[in-house]
């Protein structure tokens, strides 16, 4: 059994600032090219979070009203009401 949606989202949320600061420090101290790695990692983690979907209906679980990305996983899917782990 894979980690729950909630655990995976929290891992992504924790990794985001850590990875961001890591590449920002490299960009300012080593090479400006690490700015590209910074953007790539931010987009990757954002994409990963976005793709945490309800196993029942496929709706992205962090979306509120299809527009706003929330930094938590709701108890129930906002689209179909299925309980989320």
Residue 80 binds to Zn ion (criterion: CB under 5 A):
yes
Compare residues 25 and 57 and give the one whose CB is closer to Zn ion: 57
Q: Of residues 43-72, which lie at the interface with Zn ion (CB under 5 A)? A: 54, 56-57, 59
Check if the beta carbon of residue 70 is closer than 8 Å to that of residue 63. Answer: yes
Residue 5 binds to Zn ion (criterion: CB under 5 A):
no
SS3 label, residue 68:
strand
Q: How close are the terminal C-alpha atoms of the chain, in Å? A: 12
Count of residues touching Zn ion (by CB under 5 A): 8
* Cβ 13 to Zn ion shortest distance, Å: 21
Instruction: Single out the segment in contact with Zn ion by CB under 5 A; choices: 11-19, 31-39, 40-48, 73-81.
Output: 73-81
| Residue 37 main-chain phi, psi, to 5 deg | -65, -35
Check if the beta carbon of residue 54 is closer than 8 Å to that of residue 61. Answer: yes
Residue position matching structure tokens 């729950």:
4
Sites of contact with Zn ion (CB under 5 A): 54, 56-57, 59, 77, 79-80, 82
């Amino acid at each position: 059994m894979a980690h729950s949606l909630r655990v995976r989202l929290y891992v992504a949320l924790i990794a985001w600032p850590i990875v961001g600061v890591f590449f920002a420090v490299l960009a300012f101290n080593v090479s400006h090219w690490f700015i590209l790695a910074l953007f790539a990692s931010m987009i990757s983690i954002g994409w990963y979070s976005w793709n945490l979907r309800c196993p029942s209906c496929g709706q992205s679980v962090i979306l509120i009203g299809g527009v706003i990305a929330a930094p938590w996983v709701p108890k129930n899917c906002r689209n179909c009401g299925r309980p989320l782990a």
